[in-house]
Structure formats: structure tokens, C-alpha cells
Chain A
């Protein structure tokens, strides 16, 4: 729960004859995160690139056919054995035959749709001509005016006007759909070329008024609408024909598509393997818990004729993928961490700490029994509707309700004796408690940084980093010592004398180590200047990070104050409306703002101490959607 799943780096040396079944076995297991390696004298497996390309093209053609027949692409992995090379050759002809069968229907549907679009586009054009009461055919023969109709990207409309600065013109936008605008554009015949060039360079797509449109605009419109109805009727007939064809060909198309998608996934993977003569090298990462399973399966696929090497990653490896082991009950909070980043392989997984800190801080800021329970109900409703963060909202609401008991308030009313304190009456205690809570959280961050750096034996960072032991010493000397000075229990001179060596050590340790190690990648001067500013930043940061937690108390006070305002104006005949809207505002709006503030504290003040979140998700070779790149992939 606190660290990602342990990984093993695996190298499989496979004979060329077995490469397809072994890769298929790995893809069906979904347990190997591939990595590209190219040892000296090994070449890339370029022969599979062509297969992958052809397989992808065939799968896309099938996907198109499925789309034309209105059929979905199935998610299930292919049932039959995959042989990318042979499959691609074998199925090409069959795909062509299937395409030919669907092509006629498709062509007729496309023509009919084009005609519908043309007629639909023509109707508003002719409607716009109604006031003219001139036969439409005369407009095509305009002697003094060049008229063109079409659509232009809406964002280019203003540009178009600017581009026509040299001529007299008329642009009439008719209506906007998605991000294109239907436009009438007109200019004199002598300026026609300028208008056309301007339109064309603004990515205008012309629509041609069908020649069949003739007569007075009202008659032409009537005729157009009749033809439109006819074309729409034909659309229904064609749709029925499509449905019948879908029933007949659908199962085969789906099977073929799954097969070729699978073949393509394998070929894509194989083209990345290194090859030396008849031997392929498959390299990647496997979770330690599945190593035996993978070994057994690939041995069976290659009938024992392969070599498997596995070794744990060294401490310095940065490219190990991350597979989290978050317990089910904690998973809703995993999303909060992933907003910031995925833990790197050697990092601690902060989900549990993040969840506890989030709930405590949220509850403290949103403490009210009534509002908290309402928010919890809202969260449960959202969770039932499938909203990912619904559970988090519900838990935050419950925490708010709990703090409501501690504050003794429900819907802003002091209904009971506070179990801890009343925010608006004991502001100083509340603010101090908030800072103390913040100091505890910051120190938890320091502690987690110590644990994290000790795990990777990064002793310089453990001892000398601003979040390491040296940083902790400086933090406590700065804040604790400062407090003692204010209370008169420590002489300011002694305080400064304690601070100075720690500050110097934090400033100079990096440049000095650089100089001693003879490392020339970072110039000494650069390290010296950077170190100074980082010390400056750390000192400001220690103070500002701690004081930042004052907002926990300030929001608690503000919450109660806002609730009081709602209650105050909640009297009279319209009072119920004020109460309703006010409560809604508090629960939704303030709830959201408190959430943002909580995340801010968590990300900047807490995570900033120990967590980088630079992990790469474990994305195994898989037949279910290919290589999944989503965060938090789990087996």
C-alpha cells in the first residue's frame, strides 16, 4: 500500500519460429511492460513494421465497414490463435470482398446524404431570397454582382472581412453550426477574383445551389422541401437495407476486426524487439508476483526453447514502471494523488496520507453537521451516478459533519455544546490549532522524505537536502527558535548563531560536493548561485508553508459567518427561498472552494516535501485495447 508493486526486469531470448506464439502469450497475459533495447550487434525487427502497417490498415478498413453498418467494435480479445504474418496476407482478399459488398449501399447512402445536405443548405439560401421575389435562375446570371455561398470557419470570419479591404463587398452570415458559419458573400463581377481568393484563403468551402432550383423563391422553396422529404424517405429505406446487411455481415466483420487488431498489437510489439540472426530479444518489466506465471506460460508457448533472464532493478534505474497496490477502499483517493502525478517506482505511494490529510483539512474548513451531511448525500448521489470523485465528496462531507459536532453547529445554528470549540468565539485558538496542524503535516512530509531517500540510499539527500535532516534542523531552529526568541526564552544572538551554520551548510553543501567530486557537468559558479537562491527560497518557504495553514481556521470562521448571513436574511415570506439558495450556495460553491484550498495545501505544502510524482504507469502489452497508457493501470 505504501510502495508500488515490485518489478523484475525480464529478458526473453526467443527463436524466430516461436516469436509469434510467445508474443501472443505475453499479450494475453497482460503482465509485461515492454521496453525497447538495442544491444550492440542486434538489429531492430524491421520485418514486422510492414506487417504492423498492413494489419493496422486492414483493421482500419474493417473499422470503417463496421462504422458504416452502425456496428460497434467489440472490446473482447480475439478468440482464435494470432499469426500476424499469415493473417494479414490471408484476410486482405476477404476484406476487399466485404468492402465491395458494402460499397454499393455506402455509395448510395453517401449520395443521398450529400443530396440531403445540399437540399438542407439550399433551403435557408432560398428562404433568404424570399423578399426579393425574383426567379432564382436570374440570380445565377447576375450581371453586376458575383454571389457565392458556402461555409467558413467561424474564427476566420473576422479575418475575411479584414482581407477584403480593397473592394466593396457584402458578407451575410446566415447561421453557425459547430465551428463553421454559413455565409453569403457578394461583390461586383470585376472584384470576383479578389473575393474568391480571399474566401479560399480563409478556408471557405463553397456550396453550389442545385441547378434544379428555379422559379420564384416561394415556389422553388416548396419544390426543394418536397425533394428533401423524398430524400429523407429514401434515407429510411437505405437504413433498413443497412440493418439487414449488418445482421448478415456483422459477426464476421467483428471477428475479423478483433483478429486483425490483435495481429497488429503483436506486430507493433515485435517490430520493437531486437533481433540477432534467428534470435529475438523481448525485454520488459514484469510484476514480481507474476514472474512465475509468465515464465511457465512462455516456456509452454516456445516448447521450452527459450532463455529467460530476470533481475531486480538497480536503485538508480529511473525507467521502471509503476503499478500501484492501493486497497479497494482507498482507490477513490488515488485520483487525488494522480492529479499531481503518479509515484515513481522508488517513491512512496502517498495515497493513504493524502486521504487522511485531505479529510481532516476539509472537515476543519467545512465544519457543520447539517452542511456536511448534505454534502455527504450529494457525494453518495454522485457516486451512484458513476462520478469518479463521488466517494471522496461523500467522505469529505462526513468529515465536515464530524467537525460540525466538534464545533457544535448545524446549518450555522449553535444547536449543541461544541465538543471542541466554537470557531467564531475562539478564533485565536482555532488559528493556532490550524498552524500546529500544518506544522505536524509538514513534519510528516519531512519524515516521508527521509523514509523515501533512505529507501533508495540517497544519503546526500537524506542528510543534506532542504527536506532532509539538515532542512528539518533548519526548520525547527528557524520556527521553534524564533518562537523562543519571541517568548524571551532565547537570546536573539544565540538564535542567529544557531541558524548561521545550518544555513551555510544548506547553501554550500552542493557546490562543495561538486568541486570535491570533480564533476564538471554543472559549473561551480552556477551551483553556488543556485544554492544561494535555493537557501533563500527554502527560508521563505519554511515560514510561508507553515503560515499557509492559517487558512484552515480562517475558512472555518468564514463558513460559520456565511451560514449566519444566510440565517439572518432567511426570515419573512421569501425567507425559505433565501435559506434554500444560501444553503445550496454554501454546500456546492463553498464546498468546491474548500476542496480547491485543501488540494492546494496538500500539493504545495505537503507533497512538495517528499513527492515528485514522475512515475511512468505500468502499461503491459495487452490484447485488450493495446498498450494502455492510463494512470493507475491495474491487473
Chain B
């Protein structure tokens, strides 16, 4: 078989038509229909312009009224962010029912990152002895979760929390880091152990897919995992000033374009522009590390967004469409959060537009 000479994850979505079959069409008919229909419900450029150009809270509220998110943008900024991100969790869960087999396993696990976010909230609440009511309000609404959040919030200590998670895949990673956490009293160790276990399993589930499903998943999730890994490595180096050996231990070793060799290069001082270029993201070499990191994060999100948009070209019936829709939805929600925060700070429409992941043409200042 001839091997592709394209760089990582850049195969065009239409190139997989050879794998297309009536079977995949039958398997993905319903999810594809749902995805296409839901995608048509994402905000239009006009709706985005309306939001960006609103000059008062009243105008912003009116602009939101014309979107499906009107009921989410009430209350304080934290509440709004929480409600909007919960939309992604619910959207993903709604699509899950139409999937079967390994693709379903993968998407179900991918959605468990909302469980992970909630678990981190619980960990921090217990560690800092924070108010449970406040934590309860911060938990994302995720119907796919099978955890008893009330019982977890009531755990009182991390050891009891782990005990209550015994029958779940989260207990073991937490247990591995428990002693280190108890010694240093830093929830970071618990969180990093959870993250590593989550992403390692996500990679394994991706590898269990075959054909177009696998290629499309690698193209989207593989890119996302790789850029996350790169971001972790740089954050550990730039913000936490960790040693190379710690950076290598706290990152993924098999994350597609960002493997252990890449992590080592980052750990030993490789500039971010160089590593970013390897995953297909160009940032100027002259930027200071912290600025470069922020720039990379934004550009990586934009690159993922572009990949997701292009997934809707060519052969339709594969898992990529489902994942791409989830990326688009999450991008939309993240951009909406940026709009809400930016408006609160009084940013001008053009300034705000430049901070979004998506492009909004024709925005007036």
C-alpha cells in the first residue's frame, strides 16, 4: 500500500471516498442528518455581527434573543459561561444516541471530558474546603454522566472521594497520584493524572477505529490532542518553570504530531514557533514566550475550527462529521463567552471580533 506523504492530519476530507460504502452510509445516515440539520442551526454571520455591534446591554440582549442561546445569557459571567459550555455537553450527548459500536465508544469517552471538568471542580472544592453550594452551581450539566455528584461533593476528603469513584475509570489515576498529593497538598498532581489517563484512553479508542472514521478522527481529535499536549509542555516550562524530566512525565508521549521527542525538545528549550510549525500553526518567531503561547492557543483553535468546517465537504458518511459539529459548536460557545466578557469590558466590535476564533466579515467599529 502506498503511504501518504502528506504531513500529519492534513488529508482532505474528500479523499476517503474510496472507503465509502453503502454500509457506512446506512450506519451514518441518521447521525449525518442530525449533524447537518444542527449545523444549519449554528449562528450566521449576520447574527454574529448583531452581537458584536451591540452598543448597550439592551442591544446585546436583543441580539441574543434572535439566537437559541437567549435563555443561557442571564445572570453573572460565571453562570453564563457554565450554561453555554453545558450546551456543548448536551449537544454531544444528543448525538451520541444515533451512534453505534466503536465510534459511539469514542464519542462517549470524548464527552467524558465534561465529567473530568466537573471532577476537577469537586477536587478543588474538597481541597480548598470551599462551599458545596457554590461548587454545585459550577458543575456543568451533562446528561451522559453517571456519577453521583451530590455524594462526591459530600466526600469530605480526597481519599473518600476516590473511594466513591471506585467503580469508575477515574479512581485509579487519582489513586496513583494520591500519595504525592498528600505530601505536597497540591491538587495539580491529581488533575494531571486524570488528564493523562483521559487522553491516553482517547488515543487508544481512536486507534481502535478503522478506515475513514479513524482518519477523520485523527484529523480532528488527533490535532486537538497534539496541540493540547504541546500547550501543556510549554505552560509547564514557561509558567510553572518545571524541569525537563517533570515536563516529560506530565505530558502525553503518544499524541500524534506531538510525541515524546517533541515534548523533549520543548522541555529542553525549543522555541514555540518551531514546534508550532511542525503541527501546522505559524506564529512569528520574535514573540516573547508568554505572548507566543497565547498566540499559539488562539491559532491552534482557529486551525481546528478550519479543519472542522472543511469536514463537511466530500463524502458525508463518517464519524468526522459528528466530531466536526462538536468542534464547531464548542467554538461557537467559546466565542460567545468571549463576546459576553468583551462587552462587559467595553471592547469595541472590531477589537472583539479579532479575539474570536471564527471570522466575522463586515464588522463595523
Which residue of the partner chain B has the closest CB to A537? B29
Which residue of the partner chain A has the closest CB to B37? A526
- Complex partner residue of B179 from A53, A203, A534, CB under 8 angstroms: A203
Instruction: Decide: A537 and B30 in contact? CB cutoff 8 A.
Output: yes
- Complex partner residue of B249 from A60, A201, A525, A533, CB under 8 angstroms: A201
Instruction: Decide: A203 and B245 in contact? CB cutoff 8 A.
Output: no
Contacts of B29 in A (CB 8 A): 533-534, 536-537, 540
A57 is an interface residue with CB less than 8 A from chain B: yes
Known: A523-B37, A526-B37, A529-B37. A163 touches B30 (CB 8 A): no
Report the bound CA distance from A56 to B268 in whole Å: 50
Instruction: Decide: A523 and B245 in contact? CB cutoff 8 A.
Output: no
Report the bound CA distance from A534 to B189 in whole Å: 47
8 inter-chain pairs at a CB distance below 8 angstroms, sorted by A residue, are A56-B154, A158-B253, A179-B172, A198-B245, A203-B193, A525-B37, A529-B36, A537-B30
Give min CB distance, B184 to chain A, whole Å: 9
Instruction: Decide: A197 and B179 in contact? CB cutoff 8 A.
Output: no
Q: Is the interface of A mostly helix, strand, loop or mixed?
A: helix
A177 is an interface residue with CB less than 8 A from chain B: no
B232 is an interface residue with CB less than 8 A from chain A: no
Instruction: Decide: B245 and A532 in contact? CB cutoff 8 A.
Output: no
Instruction: Decide: A523 and B249 in contact? CB cutoff 8 A.
Output: no
Known: A537-B30, A540-B26. A163 touches B176 (CB 8 A): no
Give 14 A-B pairs besides A57-B156, A533-B29 with Cβ atoms closer than 8 angstroms: A53-B154, A153-B176, A156-B176, A162-B248, A165-B264, A194-B245, A198-B245, A198-B249, A200-B180, A203-B180, A523-B40, A529-B36, A529-B40, A532-B33
Report the bound CA distance from A53 to B160 in whole Å: 13
Report the bound CA distance from A400 to B287 in whole Å: 75
A444 is an interface residue with CB less than 8 A from chain B: no
Give min CB distance, A525 to chain B, whole Å: 6
Report the bound CA distance from A525 to B244 in whole Å: 54
Q: Of residues 280 to 313 in B, which have CB atoms within 8 Å of A's CB atoms?
A: none
Known: A166-B268, A534-B30. A201 touches B36 (CB 8 A): no
Contacts of A256 in B (CB 8 A): none
Instruction: Decide: B245 and A163 in contact? CB cutoff 8 A.
Output: yes
Give min CB distance, A46 to chain B, whole Å: 9
Q: Of residues 71 to 106 in B, which have CB atoms within 8 Å of A's CB atoms?
A: none
B216 is an interface residue with CB less than 8 A from chain A: no
Known: A523-B41, A536-B29. A205 touches B156 (CB 8 A): no
Report the bound CA distance from A537 to B29 in whole Å: 7
Instruction: Decide: A533 and B154 in contact? CB cutoff 8 A.
Output: no
Report the bound CA distance from A525 to B42 in whole Å: 13
A164 is an interface residue with CB less than 8 A from chain B: yes
Number of cross-chain contacts by CB at 8 Å: 87
Known: A53-B156, A166-B245, A540-B26. A205 touches B179 (CB 8 A): yes
Give min CB distance, A388 to chain B, whole Å: 19
Contacts of A529 in B (CB 8 A): 33, 36-37, 40
Report the bound CA distance from A533 to B29 in whole Å: 6
Report the bound CA distance from A203 to B30 in whole Å: 45
Give min CB distance, A26 to chain B, whole Å: 20
Instruction: Decide: B243 and A197 in contact? CB cutoff 8 A.
Output: yes
Which residue of the partner chain A has the closest CB to B181? A203
B198 is an interface residue with CB less than 8 A from chain A: no
Report the bound CA distance from A544 to B29 in whole Å: 15
Contacts of A156 in B (CB 8 A): 176, 249
How many positions in chain B have a CB within 8 Å of any CB in the partner chain?
32
Report the bound CA distance from A523 to B34 in whole Å: 11
Contacts of A200 in B (CB 8 A): 180
Size class of the contact patch on chain A: 35 or more
B205 is an interface residue with CB less than 8 A from chain A: no
Known: A523-B37, A529-B33. A159 touches B156 (CB 8 A): no
Contacts of B264 in A (CB 8 A): 162, 165
A414 is an interface residue with CB less than 8 A from chain B: no
Instruction: Decide: A198 and B246 in contact? CB cutoff 8 A.
Output: yes
Contacts of A534 in B (CB 8 A): 29-30, 33
Known: A156-B176, A202-B249. A166 touches B244 (CB 8 A): yes
Give min CB distance, A621 to chain B, whole Å: 15
Instruction: Decide: A165 and B30 in contact? CB cutoff 8 A.
Output: no
Residue in A527, A530, A532 whose Cβ sees the most chain B Cβ within 10 Å = A530
Report the bound CA distance from A53 to B177 in whole Å: 26
- Complex partner residue of B245 from A179, A197, A205, A536, CB under 8 angstroms: A197
Instruction: Decide: B40 and A203 in contact? CB cutoff 8 A.
Output: no
Q: Of residues 21 to 46 in B, which have CB atoms within 8 Å of A's CB atoms?
A: 26, 29-30, 32-34, 36-38, 40-41
B108 is an interface residue with CB less than 8 A from chain A: no
Instruction: Decide: B41 and A159 in contact? CB cutoff 8 A.
Output: no
B170 is an interface residue with CB less than 8 A from chain A: no
Q: Of residues 493 to 545 in A, which have CB atoms within 8 Å of B's CB atoms?
A: 523, 525-527, 529-530, 532-534, 536-537, 540, 544
Instruction: Decide: A537 and B26 in contact? CB cutoff 8 A.
Output: yes
Contacts of A525 in B (CB 8 A): 37, 40
Which residue of the partner chain A has the closest CB to B22? A540
A364 is an interface residue with CB less than 8 A from chain B: no
Q: Of residues 32 to 75 in A, which have CB atoms within 8 Å of B's CB atoms?
A: 53, 56-57, 60
Give min CB distance, B138 to chain A, whole Å: 18
A160 is an interface residue with CB less than 8 A from chain B: yes
Instruction: Decide: B33 and A162 in contact? CB cutoff 8 A.
Output: no
Contacts of A162 in B (CB 8 A): 248, 253, 260, 264
Instruction: Decide: B246 and A197 in contact? CB cutoff 8 A.
Output: yes
Bitwise interface map of A from 205 to 235 toward B, beta carbon under 8 Å scored 1, else 0: 1000000000000000000000000000000
Which residue of the partner chain A has the closest CB to B197? A155
Instruction: Decide: B250 and A530 in contact? CB cutoff 8 A.
Output: no
Q: What 4 pairs between A and B have smallest CB-CB spacing?
A: A526-B37, A533-B33, A198-B245, A201-B249
Q: Of residues 237 to 275 in B, which have CB atoms within 8 Å of A's CB atoms?
A: 243-246, 248-250, 253, 260, 264, 268
Report the bound CA distance from A155 to B189 in whole Å: 16
Give min CB distance, A608 to chain B, whole Å: 11
Bitwise interface map of B from 182 to 219 toward A, beta carbon under 8 Å scored 1, else 0: 00000001000100000000000000000000000000
Known: A203-B193, A537-B26. A526 touches B176 (CB 8 A): no
Report the bound CA distance from A194 to B29 in whole Å: 54
Instruction: Decide: B243 and A194 in contact? CB cutoff 8 A.
Output: yes
Which residue of the partner chain B has the closest CB to A193? B243
Give min CB distance, B332 to chain A, whole Å: 16
Contacts of B32 in A (CB 8 A): 533
Give min CB distance, A406 to chain B, whole Å: 35
